Amino acid sequence: MNASPEHQRILLDVADLDRRLQQAEKQRTTPVQGPRINELAKERQEQLRDLTVLTGARDDVRTELTRLESDVKVTEQRRTRDAERLAASTNPKDAQALEHELASLGRRISDLEDQQLDVMGRLEEAESAVATQQALIDTTTAEGTELTAQAKAQVAAATNEIAQLSRDRDAVTADIPADLLAEYTRRASRGIGVGLLRRGTCEGCRMMLSGTHLNEVRQAAADAVISCPECGAILVRTDESGL
Ligand SMILES: [Zn+2]
């Protein structure tokens, strides 16, 4: 195949645009924040499960406290009623029984109040554990929201860049003969499409050409499309080629 040296050199620009297109495409389809966002979503699920457990424990303690408060109330009402009956009682035997019961109710109330204090202490701890867990979830959610926003911005920027690079590529390739472009595309799809020969080295694969190969390159016509013997890329010659 033959193509003018100018057209062959343009392939280097096309390859550069293709490299940048590939990078932008990678940024668009797999934002760097992706793994961490997935990790955070998983962490949040676990944290929410723990929150459910902690909230359940707190609600149990609340129920226990409500029950104790109700017990204290009922017992106090009974003590008030017994005290009224005692004040109105004229029968010594009844009075003795009531006094006995009042003493017993007093001990019961004191006992219930001790239990109440204990349960209130446990409720405080349970509420604190729920608040701590909620704060942890808030932190995880905030990081996830922030990273998702960053990822979206990156995808949008990459999408714009791809559009711009595609326009540039269209402009650059407009002047190249179709068969040369097809040849580049074919080789690029298999590996390296084009490489600049600089000081005897193919910049596509970084391999130095042997003396024999360099001699072949020297003998080739300027418009011949030649290949790197190592990577198969179209080898582009310039003044820097060291020929
Ligand atoms: Zn090469």
Ligand 1 mean position to 194 CA, how many Å? Answer: 8
Give the list of residues 6+ apart from residue 159 with CB closer than 8 angstroms, or none: 28
Rounded to the nearest angstrom, the distance between the alpha carbon of 210 and the centre of ligand 1 is 12
Other CB atoms closer than 10 Å to residue 211's CB: what's the count? Answer: 9
Average pLDDT, the chain: 97
Q: What is the pLDDT of residue 170?
A: 97
- Tell me, what's the pLDDT at 69? 97
The answer, yes or no, to whether residue 242 has pLDDT greater than 90, is no
Distance, CA 21 to ligand 1 centroid (Å)? 21
Q: Please state, in angstroms and rounded to a whole number, the distance separating the CA atoms of residues 12 and 14.
A: 5
Helical packing angle, 5-29 and 92-173, nearest 10°: 170
Residue at token pair 């179209």 = 234
Whether pLDDT at 58 is above 90: yes
How confident is the model over 12-39, as a mean pLDDT?
96
Average pLDDT over residues 165-176: 96
Name the percent of the chain lying above pLDDT 90. Answer: 99
Tell me the whole-structure pTM to 2 decimals: 0.73
**How close is the Cα of 233 to the center of ligand 1, in Å?**
6
Confidence at residue 73, expressed as pLDDT on a 0 to 100 scale: 97
In which order are the strands placed within the sheet that holds 201-202? 207-208, 201-202, 194-198, 234-237, 226-227
Compute, in angstroms, the gap from residue 171 CA to the centroid of ligand 1.
26
Residue 243 pLDDT > 90: no
Mean pLDDT across 134-159: 98
Determine the distance separating the centroid of ligand 1 and the alpha carbon of 203, expressed in angstroms: 6
- 155 Cα–ligand 1 center, Å: 33
